[in-house]
């Protein structure tokens, strides 16, 4: 398959465009779409399939649920993940429930496309990594692509899925470039990707933190430490088989997650490994997450809160028996 280098954001758009050309039931709408007559989406697909919505997330998501129930495959552009919080009834209590409650007779093929983790000085309300609160909702699938190729392949799969899919893109990755296959390209849900093979320690990371983990692995390699970096790519469904197989090989596990520690996907993975892979562990599991605090406006404080290469390297050294914990990786001390 031929490929070329394009940005993460272009890969997402390419997947949506290709699916809209392939299937006339695919719709695309959002609050800032099709606002001008020469809008390229509007020109390509027309006003019946690309529409601007009211400035109401409750209405926007509700329109998506209704369109999906009527036989369409809407992609709802939500921009910021936090915007879903005002429409949680549709996201959590409606869209994921109808298929089960109808005994499989009703399908809800809807994609909710939302950005997260915009920690470049945006302070408290548009910077959260809030995917953890959706990870346990039955019937709702959850995607966290970390590369342009994954972004394209997972979006195409999301659009074709007969269930509601929460497709969460990382804002700090939008302009990152990478090799992306041309033409039709799909990545199955529930299939983790080993971004780097290794033998000494397994590092499981999601989204933006995958790149921090890979950079940390490069630094560790210079000291003779071989880190295997695993990217789950989808959180629901979660490919625990690949993670457990990696831990069985390395005997050590470091989990990296931009979410706060007690709302992280890493905590779920740690619990699964503790239950199903405990015999493989040669050291305690280490989690490198954001601290349990709102993202501050100050850049030095923001960097202090978030996971980074140094914290990952330190966690790896700890599970290998070197170094001592510091505040960035330890449990908070009660006041």
Query: What's the rounded mean pLDDT across residues 258-285?
Result: 95
What is the mean predicted confidence (pLDDT) over 20-44?
92
Residue 62, pLDDT > 90, answer yes
User: Alpha helix locations (H) across 31-72?
Assistant: 40-45, 57-69
pTM of the model: 0.91
Statement: residue 334 has pLDDT above 50: no
CATH fold, domain 193-319, is Rossmann fold (3.40.50)
Average model confidence (pLDDT) across the chain: 91
Residue 118 is predicted with a pLDDT of: 77
pLDDT digits (tens, 9 = 90+) for 285-319: 999 999 988 888 888 888 898 999 999 999 999 99
Annotated catalytic residues are 126
**pLDDT of 73 higher than 60:** yes
Residue 91 to residue 13: CA distance in whole angstroms: 23
Residue 199 has a pLDDT of: 96
Query: Is it the case that residue 331 has pLDDT exceeding 80?
Result: no
Q: Which of 90-99, 175-184, 215-224, 280-289 has the weakest average pLDDT? A: 90-99
pLDDT, greater one: 125 or 290: 290
pLDDT for the residue 122 = 67
E strand or H helix at 198, and its extent?
none
The ranges assigned to domains in the chain are 3-181, 193-319
Binning pLDDT at 50, 70 and 90, where does residue 229 land? very high
Q: What SS3 string covers 271-331?
A: HHHHHHCHHHCCCCCEEEEECCCCCCCCHHHHHHHCCCHHHHHHHHHHHCCCCCCCCCCCC
Instruction: Encode pLDDT of 140-173 as tens digits.
Output: 999 999 999 999 999 999 999 999 999 999 999 9
Top CATH class, 3-181 = alpha beta
Pick 155 or 123 by higher pLDDT. 155
Q: Given this model, what pLDDT does residue 32 score?
A: 85
Residue the block writes with tokens 């809030």 = 130
| The predicted structure's pLDDT at residue 123 | 73
């Amino acid at each position: 398959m031929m490929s070329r280098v394009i940005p993460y954001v272009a890969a997402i758009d390419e997947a949506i465009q290709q699916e809209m050309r392939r299937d006339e039931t695919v719709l695309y709408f959002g609050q800032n779409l099709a606002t001008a007559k020469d809008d390229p989406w509007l020109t390509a697909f027309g006003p019946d399939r690309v529409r601007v919505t009211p400035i109401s997330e409750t209405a926007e998501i509700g329109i998506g649920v209704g369109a999906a129930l009527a036989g369409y495959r809407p992609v709802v552009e939500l921009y910021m993940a936090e915007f879903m919080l005002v429409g949680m009834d549709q996201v959590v209590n409606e869209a994921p429930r109808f298929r089960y409650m109808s005994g499989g007779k009703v399908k809800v093929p809807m994609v909710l496309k939302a950005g997260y983790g915009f920690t470049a000085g945006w302070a408290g309300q548009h910077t959260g990594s809030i995917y953890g609160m959706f990870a346990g909702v039955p019937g709702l699938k959850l995607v966290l692509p970390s590369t342009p190729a994954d972004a394209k392949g997972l979006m195409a799969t999301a659009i074709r899925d007969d269930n509601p899919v929460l497709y969460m893109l990382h804002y700090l990755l939008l302009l990152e470039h990478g090799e992306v296959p041309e033409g039709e390209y799909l990545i199955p849900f529930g299939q983790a990707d080993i971004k780097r093979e290794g033998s000494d320690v397994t590092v499981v990371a999601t989204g933006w933190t995958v790149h921090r983990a890979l950079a940390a692995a490069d630094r560790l390699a210079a000291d003779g430490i071989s880190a295997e970096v695993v990217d789950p790519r989808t959180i629901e469904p979660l490919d625990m088989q690949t993670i457990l197989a990696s831990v069985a090989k390395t005997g050590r596990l470091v989990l990296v997650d931009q979410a706060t520690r007690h709302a992280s996907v890493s905590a779920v993975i740690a619990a699964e490994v503790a239950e199903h892979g405990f015999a493989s562990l040669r050291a305690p599991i280490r989690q490198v997450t954001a601290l349990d605090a709102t993202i501050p406006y100050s850049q030095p404080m923001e960097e202090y809160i978030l996971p980074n290469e140094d914290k990952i390297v330190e966690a790896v050294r700890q599970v290998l028996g070197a170094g001592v914990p510091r505040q960035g990786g330890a449990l908070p001390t009660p006041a």
